[in-house]
Amino acid sequence: MNPADMGDDLERVLLSEEQINTRLDELAEQIDADYAGKDVLVVGVLKGAVMVMADLVRRLHTSVEMDWMAVSSYGSGTKSSGVVRILKDLDTDLIGRHVLIVEDIIDSGLTLSWLLANLRSRGPESVEIATMLRKPDAAKVEVDVRYVGFDIPNEFVVGYGLDYAEKYRNLPFVGTLAPHVYSA
């Protein structure tokens, strides 16, 4: 899906596909350096993290296993409910593992602070977080994040995995939506 496919739904492009790809190269290099010689269990948080997970692991030279969790705190709206539900748990035992959680966005931080505590309680050797986007001005809780793609303004964004009412996840860029989309 391209900007041209969006009619007048797109307000503006915040991060282009090229900016995202350049940043992914840098993050992968950093992750490879930090985990040299280790096996990593990369945990993608469905559904938003699908794009960044796929693009990041393909750049890594580190030996990885991939697993997925589905949690939801947003439903179909634009505000976090603060109540995190596990919709799908991991298949993998975390005891002694180096776990790298991969996320599309840290907004209020509620989802990841809950997830971090949950995964840490399962006996891993280490747990770190990689997120493509973070909204520093939206933080309700501080989350200790090792790898951040971009800090962005406190606006609702879509694309590169991020949805509004389940749409727009397939945009290869990150953008904001025109106001009429929300009132439709």
- With CB cut-offs between 5 and 8 Å by kind, which of Mg ion, ligand HPA, ligand PRP, none does residue 55 bind? none
* Cross-strand partners of 40: 64, 98
When asked if residue 118 is in the footprint of ligand PRP (CB under 6 A), the reply is: no
DSSP assignment, residue 107? S
- Least separation in angstroms between residue 145's CB and ligand HPA is 15
Residues 86 and 126: their CA atoms lie apart, in Å, by 21
Please choose, from the candidates 183, 181, 154, 159, the residue with its C-alpha nearest in 3D space to the C-alpha of residue 170: 159
By residue count, the chain amounts to 184
- With CB cut-offs between 5 and 8 Å by kind, which of Mg ion, ligand PRP, ligand HPA, none does residue 106 bind? ligand PRP
In the set 23, 46, 73, 74, which binds Mg ion (CB under 5 A)?
74
Contacts to ligand HPA by CB under 6 A: 74, 105, 107, 156-158, 162-163
Active site residue 104: no
Closer of 74 and 156 to Mg ion (Cβ): 74
When asked if residue 156 is in the footprint of Mg ion (CB under 5 A), the reply is: no
Find the DSSP H helices in 92-178.
Answer: 110-120
- Least separation in angstroms between residue 124's CB and ligand PRP is 19
When asked if residue 73 is in the footprint of ligand PRP (CB under 6 A), the reply is: yes
Determine contact, residues 23/150, Cβ cutoff 8 Å. Answer: yes
Show Cβ contacts of residue 77 under 8 Å, excluding neighbours closer than 6 positions: none
